[in-house]
Amino acid sequence: MPLTNRGRAILSRVPGGTLQSTVGVGCEIVRHEELCVGCGKCATNCPSGASERSETFDVYQLLDAPAGSRRGALGDALRRIMKHAPDGLVEVPARVTVLRTIAYDGEKCLGCGTCARGCPADAIEARPPKADAAPAAEMRA
Amino acid sequence: MAAAPAASAAGRETGVGQPAVAGRSVVAFCCRECAYAAADASANARTSLPPTVRLVLMPCTGRVSPLHLLSALAEGADGVMVAGCLEGQCHYREGNFNAIDRVAFVQRLLKSVGVAPERCRMFTMSAGEPPKFVAAVKEMDRVIGGLPPLERSAVPAVARGAA
């Protein structure tokens, strides 16, 4: 995993953060998939490759999208004609770029919060690490 | 559009939401450069199109988004078709490739929610092939005619096509 200087700085600041184990370091990233517009900025900005555009699309992202948004309009149209709940993930053809689900890998995430800062839809929340004590306790043990 | 294709004019006379034949309707999104030109030519040659079809002029099929297709289906169309240039001959280089992928995406969306994916289809033709356009429209009309009417859940705004 390529680690940027920024990532290393974050790791050095956070108790329990080492280059070997990066799980649970820094902020806690909470993604609100229903707000996501699929622009992929989090994937472009992510220093560790934790967020990536996937090859599939979760139809529930249309159905749960807020009314008035573009995805919400698609969801409204779909809701009127649908016979049953979506079967699951839909494969996305190569040229459809925006209607994709962002795959987020918590194992790779540094918790730096770059994705949350760059998100135009405010779909990502970076919560400050709430339990700094816990990793520190693990370290002592 | 002085020479609007005969079928769309005929469809207009019967009133929106009241298609003449068996209550079904097909919306055809046509690219201005190829498919609409072919439709024009077929109308000039006095070839009749199925009265169920409505033509919608698009600057390029690359303009067609999944929202166009899905909202057409949700607001009363039983089938939507996208008619564009031959592959590799788009006047805007790759608009029809985008459209092909979007149509494929909408088909998968429809399939995943239990709607027949044949309700949305892509056709390609050149401007000089009016018979191919007519054949595509007739094919679409035949396929939609074989499917049961698309049921829509009762949402106040869509009372039009649902009945």
Reported as a single tens digit per residue, the pLDDT across A37-64 is 999 999 999 888 899 999 999 999 999 9
Bridge-based pairing of strands B53-58 and B26-31 is parallel
* pLDDT (0 to 100) of residue A79: 92
In terms of pLDDT, which residue wins out, A15 or A72?
A: A72
**Are the beta carbons of A93 and B104 separated by less than 8 Å?**
yes
Spatial separation of the C-alpha atoms in residues B75 and A55, rounded to whole Å:
30
**Are the beta carbons of B151 and A83 separated by less than 8 Å?**
yes
Which residues in chain A have their CB less than 8 angstroms from residue B108's CB? 90-91
Instruction: Decide if B153 is inside a domain.
Output: no
Number of domains in chain B: 1
* pLDDT (0 to 100) of residue B12: 42
**SS3 state at B33:** coil
A23-41 tens-digit pLDDT: 446 788 999 999 999 999 9
**Are the beta carbons of A93 and B114 separated by less than 8 Å?**
no
Which residue in chain A has the smallest CA separation from B159? A80
* pLDDT (0 to 100) of residue B84: 95
Using the predicted structure, report yes or no on whether residue B163 has a pLDDT greater than 70. no
Distances (CA, A) of B28 to B13, B39, B113: 18, 11, 23
Instruction: Decide if B21 is inside a domain.
Output: no
Q: What is the DSSP letter of A96?
A: -
Give the start-to-end residue ranges of the domains of chain A.
5-140
Instruction: Decide if B105 is inside a domain.
Output: yes
Residue B42, CA atoms < 13 Å, CB-side half-sphere = 27
Using the predicted structure, report yes or no on whether residue B14 has a pLDDT greater than 90. no
Which residues in chain A have their CB less than 8 angstroms from residue B113's CB? 59, 78, 81-87
**SS3 state at B8:** helix
A82-128 tens-digit pLDDT: 999 999 899 999 999 999 999 999 888 888 888 998 999 999 998 87
**CATH number, residue B62:** 3.40.50
Domain A5-140 architecture = 2-Layer Sandwich (3.30)
Using the predicted structure, report yes or no on whether residue A19 has a pLDDT greater than 90. no
* pLDDT (0 to 100) of residue A22: 45
Q: Provide ipTM, 2 decimals.
A: 0.77
* Structure confidence at residue B141 as a pLDDT band (50, 70, 90): very high
**Are the beta carbons of A80 and B113 separated by less than 8 Å?**
no
**Are the beta carbons of A96 and B101 separated by less than 8 Å?**
yes
- A73 touches B: beta carbon within 8 Å: yes
- A77 touches B: beta carbon within 8 Å: yes
Question: In which domain, by residue range, is B122 found?
Answer: 28-147
* pLDDT (0 to 100) of residue B16: 45
* Structure confidence at residue A130 as a pLDDT band (50, 70, 90): low
Q: Which residues contact B60 (CB under 8 A, 6 or more apart)?
A: B31, B32, B33, B84, B90, B91, B92, B95, B96
Instruction: Decide if B117 is inside a domain.
Output: yes
**How many Å lie between the alpha carbon of A95 and the closest alpha carbon of chain B?**
6
Q: Which residues contact A131 (CB under 8 A, 6 or more apart)?
A: none
B75-119 tens-digit pLDDT: 989 999 999 999 999 999 999 999 999 999 999 999 999 999 999
Which residue in chain B has the smallest CA separation from A74? B67
Spatial separation of the C-alpha atoms in residues A74 and A65, rounded to whole Å:
9
B18-62 tens-digit pLDDT: 444 457 899 999 999 999 999 999 999 999 999 999 999 999 999
Residue from the list B111, B112, B152 with its beta carbon closest to the beta carbon of A80: B152
Instruction: Decide if B102 is inside a domain.
Output: yes
Residue type, B100: I
Using the predicted structure, report yes or no on whether residue A140 has a pLDDT greater than 60. no
Which residue in chain B has the smallest CA separation from A55? B105
Helices (DSSP H) in B6-150: which residue ranges? 6-13, 35-44, 66-74, 95-112, 130-146
Using the predicted structure, report yes or no on whether residue B9 has a pLDDT greater than 60. no
* pLDDT (0 to 100) of residue B72: 95
